[in-house]
Amino acid sequence: MKIELNRDFIDQLKELIEQKADQDIIQIISELHAADIAEIMEELDSDEAQYLFLLLDGELASDVLLEIPEADQRRFLRGLPPDVIAHRFIEFMESDDAADVMADLDEDVQDEVLQHIDDKEQAGDIADLLEYDEDTAGGIMAKELVAVNENWTVQTCLKEISIQAEDIDEIYYVYVVDDNFFLKGVLSLKMLIMKPTHTVIKSMVTEDAHFVRTDASQEEVAQVMEKYDLVALPVVDQIGRLKGRITIDDVLDIIREEADKDYQMASGISGDVEAGDNVFQRAWTRIPWLFIGMIGGIIGAGVLGSHSSQLQQIPAMAFFIPLIAAMAGNVGVQSSSIIVQSIASGTRSFDSVGRKLVKELSVAFSTALLFSVLIFMYNFFFTGNMRLTYSVSITLFIVMVFASLFGTLIPLVLNKLKIDPAVATGPFITTTNDILGLLIYMTVAQMFFKIL
Amino acid sequence: MKIELNRDFIDQLKELIEQKADQDIIQIISELHAADIAEIMEELDSDEAQYLFLLLDGELASDVLLEIPEADQRRFLRGLPPDVIAHRFIEFMESDDAADVMADLDEDVQDEVLQHIDDKEQAGDIADLLEYDEDTAGGIMAKELVAVNENWTVQTCLKEISIQAEDIDEIYYVYVVDDNFFLKGVLSLKMLIMKPTHTVIKSMVTEDAHFVRTDASQEEVAQVMEKYDLVALPVVDQIGRLKGRITIDDVLDIIREEADKDYQMASGISGDVEAGDNVFQRAWTRIPWLFIGMIGGIIGAGVLGSHSSQLQQIPAMAFFIPLIAAMAGNVGVQSSSIIVQSIASGTRSFDSVGRKLVKELSVAFSTALLFSVLIFMYNFFFTGNMRLTYSVSITLFIVMVFASLFGTLIPLVLNKLKIDPAVATGPFITTTNDILGLLIYMTVAQMFFKIL
């Protein structure tokens, strides 16, 4: 029954596209879910993908458009006239998806597309949504929702729902409003089905419905929905009037996106890496951190250069440079990522910075002690040079404690300054700690050269 | 109306707990959502938290128990007799949550708790769920669901739903089964409300409902629900009989957990880091990677030691060791994280390993060329030593290409071997690339010392 999506299928499809066997292609493709078609398109080269895409009709075409990477969306739409964009794609979409797609178009194209939308209510909804900042609740929400008046009965409600729900893919909750559209509460469809039909809505509503304001950040939206296990969340304006609703699938995308961003930041990659990006764009996302790493390396060379007398006296000191640098980097990354994660997942900011530091430092002290004893024993038994043995193990202890301290403090400080603390993970911490480690190493060595 | 959850509130609560002002505490706390109470408990010390927890009654107590970290769950439950666990907590929970909590208890305690559950159907459901592996669809699913027979009419359905739905928090979909409970399709409540009441269910069901088998991995479950934007997913057994359903909130937890795990792995932290963990446990999660880093550092020292003649001839060579090591590490981390992410997010494995490699290598070549030219110019103008200048920049080029190659290949190979590719990120890549970088540096230098 279901088509197996594998290499053979892709090859067969490529052949059909080359033969321009449109009917066969349509027959195969139309059985698939939009998300599957989007996945297939990523395996085709861009001309094949475009050819396939233009064979799709109405609803399916617009569904597929929403599933492909944004870079491809832009490329496909760029060549199309505004009326085609309106009639073939936008008119089939819910308002939030339509606004997302439109937001990527030039402003004059946006205006023309809006004028070509036949349903003026839909055009108005999209225009409203385009006003909001993309990263806020207003920018994520859809205007399509089922709202019922608090004075209605269950029976009136159910009738009204079946009218309003025509345009909506899925209803999870029904929003209860007063005559001025102020949000009064939330009802699940289940509650409506289970109550006697003459019950007045007002009597069923509980007061503690969760909602966000249109200007709430997308992180806040995600945190509220995740914390309270909601599948949809109403959005209200400054004075509490119902403006839209956000569904869990959009929030899932945000959570995935944030996690990916933090992960990439920790790996020294800036900006989006989309499947369609070319070599130059891919390289570009990596160059900034590599450049910082190189500058760090050059500074490190400077530090070593200005302490070259120690290195000349005991050449074996140079052998342990990679060890000191690596341990500093690893400890720093560990500490910073713990803090960044706790900042990212924490909804509220209780002032426990002090406690966090104390916890981190006690971990740092114990691990630093362990590893400096280990390296002391190694050098004592295998190298036999006491100056080197002392220098390396004392350096390692100091470096590990400092690396941990910096790894903890920098994200906390950045967060206080309203800068995304995730920038202080990965290569940034590694680089600063490398330099720090070398400085400490050379300073400690200098001291021991004077004493011993 | 809503209580502001801030430091002052916590301090006030701590004081009330100290005074044992139970009534006041209950009054304040009972207005809050379980997730908020759990958050507050994390800010209290463990005795205060336990005191607060034991003041909560029935439903709320069990809701809070589900929101607190697993380590705390275990600690709270450890001291309680099986009948209390059954009557005060388990009996209020849906089967999936109950099974999750029970899974952490010792097996003999599990048996006793099951015997104390008065509702034998619930006990049976929990016992069934405990049979499944925790990381599979069977281990995540709940048994509570609304199932309707395909031969019923909409009217019969709605009546049946209002009976079955009593025990269920939220219904999103209704599952259609035949007489033998084989899954035949999925209906949304919306569809039921909108059809005439005499419609036979069979005629409304579409054939392409998404489902998973009980033995599907939790990653697969998350991928299916995320890809097709589902809020609930039915789970069937080997022959297709409906066994349970998974809701989006559980999947959200899984996605968050997986993202956290990958992030921690990339940061060199193994195992869970929960807020309640003590210093020893926290240190323990970091020691493995630090140990690997130290071994790497010692091997690096060995590599340098066996090439000490080059270092003695041009001591300035040592200055660039941190730069080579850092660039190798950074490039390796970038490449591996890109691959790990694409493996983690990809549903299907089209055999495009070759293409991935080609893409990565072209990025590697261009960035390697850029940075080796930059470092060539730096050394040419500022150090003036041609042997050093050539050695460093040629080394950098080779190292960056190799680091990228390894960063790409190792996760791909691990994935083929069914090992989580995420282990090959962070410190692991950094450490291997450090050693590799040093080896190449010394080898290239040796060559140039012979030629120039």
The answer, for A55 touching chain B at a CB cutoff of 8 Å, is no
| Per-residue confidence (pLDDT) for residue B1, from 0 to 100 | 37
Q: Which of residues 169-228 of A touch B (CB under 8 A)?
A: 170-172, 188-190, 193-194, 207-208, 226-228
Say whether B301 and A322 touch across the interface (CB within 8 A): yes
| Per-residue confidence (pLDDT) for residue B3, from 0 to 100 | 59
pLDDT band at A288 (very low <50, low <70, confident <90, very high): confident
CATH class of A279-451: mainly alpha
Burial class (CB in 10 A: 0-12, 13-18, 19+), A27: exposed
Mean pLDDT, chain A, rounded, equals 86
- Measured CA to CA in angstroms, residue B262 lies from A222, A286, B72, B145, B268 at distances of 20, 20, 24, 33, 10
| Closest residue on chain A to B164 (Cα) | A194
Task: For the domain covering A7-135, report its CATH number.
Answer: 1.25.60.10
The reply to whether the predicted model has a pTM over 0.90 is no
CB of A234 closer than 8 Å to CB of A209: yes
Say whether A290 and B330 touch across the interface (CB within 8 A): yes
Decide yes or no: CATH 1.10.10.200 for domain A147-256.
no
Mean pLDDT for A77-106 is 90
Say whether A326 and B434 touch across the interface (CB within 8 A): yes
Decide yes or no: CATH 1.25.60.10 for domain B7-140.
yes
Query: In whole angstroms, what is the distance from residue B391 CA to residue B368 CA?
Result: 14
| Per-residue confidence (pLDDT) for residue B272, from 0 to 100 | 60
Closest CA relative to residue B143, chosen from B98, B111, B113, B209? B98
- Measured CA to CA in angstroms, residue A92 lies from A31, A106, B274 at distances of 19, 21, 46
Query: In whole angstroms, what is the distance from residue B308 CA to residue B284 CA?
Result: 36
Across the interface, which of B282, B294, B430 has its CB nearest the CB of A374? B294
Closest CA relative to residue A196, chosen from A153, A147, A146? A153
Q: Which residues of A touch B334 (CB under 8 A)?
A: 267-269, 286, 289-290
Q: Where are the domains of chain A?
A: 7-135, 147-256, 279-451
Q: Which residues of B touch A378 (CB under 8 A)?
A: 298
pLDDT band at A1 (very low <50, low <70, confident <90, very high): very low
B372's CB contacts (< 8 A; 6+ apart) are B393, B394, B396, B397, B400
Q: Which residues of B touch A430 (CB under 8 A)?
A: 326, 329-330, 430
- Per-residue pLDDT reduced to its tens digit, A347-382: 444 546 677 778 888 889 999 999 999 999 999 988
Closest CA relative to residue B17, chosen from B48, B38, B44? B48
Query: In whole angstroms, what is the distance from residue B92 CA to residue A186 CA?
Result: 24
The answer, for B267 touching chain A at a CB cutoff of 8 Å, is yes
The answer, for A255 touching chain B at a CB cutoff of 8 Å, is yes
Task: For the domain covering B147-257, report its CATH number.
Answer: 3.10.580.10
Report the 3 state secondary structure along A329-357.
HHHHHHHHHHHHHHHHHCCCCCCCHHHHH
Q: Which residues of B touch A188 (CB under 8 A)?
A: 170-171
DSSP alpha helix (H) spans, B307-383 = 308-313, 316-319, 321-345, 353-382
B295's CB contacts (< 8 A; 6+ apart) are B431
pLDDT over 90, % of chain A: 28
Query: In whole angstroms, what is the distance from residue A62 CA to residue A89 CA?
Result: 5
CB of A25 closer than 8 Å to CB of A13: yes
| Per-residue confidence (pLDDT) for residue B351, from 0 to 100 | 47
| Per-residue confidence (pLDDT) for residue A151, from 0 to 100 | 92
- Per-residue pLDDT reduced to its tens digit, A412-427: 888 888 887 877 777 7
Say whether A367 and B290 touch across the interface (CB within 8 A): yes
Say whether B33 and A208 touch across the interface (CB within 8 A): yes
Say whether B193 and A158 touch across the interface (CB within 8 A): yes
Give me the amino acid identity at A436.
L
| Closest residue on chain A to B315 (Cα) | A312
pLDDT band at A3 (very low <50, low <70, confident <90, very high): low
pLDDT band at A271 (very low <50, low <70, confident <90, very high): low
DSSP alpha helix (H) spans, B44-94 = 46-55, 58-67, 70-78, 82-84
Q: Which of residues 311-340 of B touch A (CB under 8 A)?
A: 311-312, 315-316, 318-327, 329-331, 333-334, 336-338
DSSP alpha helix (H) spans, B383-423 = 386-416
* 3-state percent breakdown (helix, strand, coil) of chain A, nearest 5: 70, 10, 25
Give me the amino acid identity at A132.
Y
| Per-residue confidence (pLDDT) for residue B246, from 0 to 100 | 94
User: Nearest C-alpha of chain B: how many angstroms from A81?
Assistant: 30
Q: Residue A20 — φ and ψ, nearest 5°?
A: 50, 40
Across the interface, which of B193, B263, B283 has its CB nearest the CB of A262? B263
| Per-residue confidence (pLDDT) for residue A272, from 0 to 100 | 60
- This complex has an ipTM of 0.79
| Closest residue on chain B to A326 (Cα) | B293
Write out chain B's pLDDT in tens, 452 residues. 355 667 788 888 888 998 888 888 888 888 888 988 988 888 888 888 888 988 888 788 999 999 988 888 888 888 889 999 999 899 999 899 999 999 988 888 999 999 999 989 899 999 999 999 988 999 999 998 889 999 999 999 888 888 887 777 778 888 999 999 999 999 888 888 888 888 999 888 876 789 999 999 998 999 899 888 899 999 999 999 999 999 998 888 888 888 888 888 777 777 665 545 677 777 888 888 888 888 988 998 888 888 888 888 888 888 999 899 888 888 888 888 888 877 776 644 454 667 777 888 888 999 999 999 999 999 998 887 888 898 899 999 999 999 999 888 888 888 888 887 877 777 778 888 888 889 999 888 888 877 76
Q: Which structure tokens are listed for A209?
A: 């419905």
The answer, for A277 touching chain B at a CB cutoff of 8 Å, is no
Say whether B189 and A194 touch across the interface (CB within 8 A): no
CB of B405 closer than 8 Å to CB of B361: yes
Q: Is the pLDDT of residue A109 over 50?
A: yes
- Per-residue pLDDT reduced to its tens digit, A168-226: 777 888 899 999 999 999 988 888 888 888 899 988 887 678 999 999 999 899 989 98
Better-predicted residue by pLDDT, B263 or A438: A438
Say whether B296 and A267 touch across the interface (CB within 8 A): no
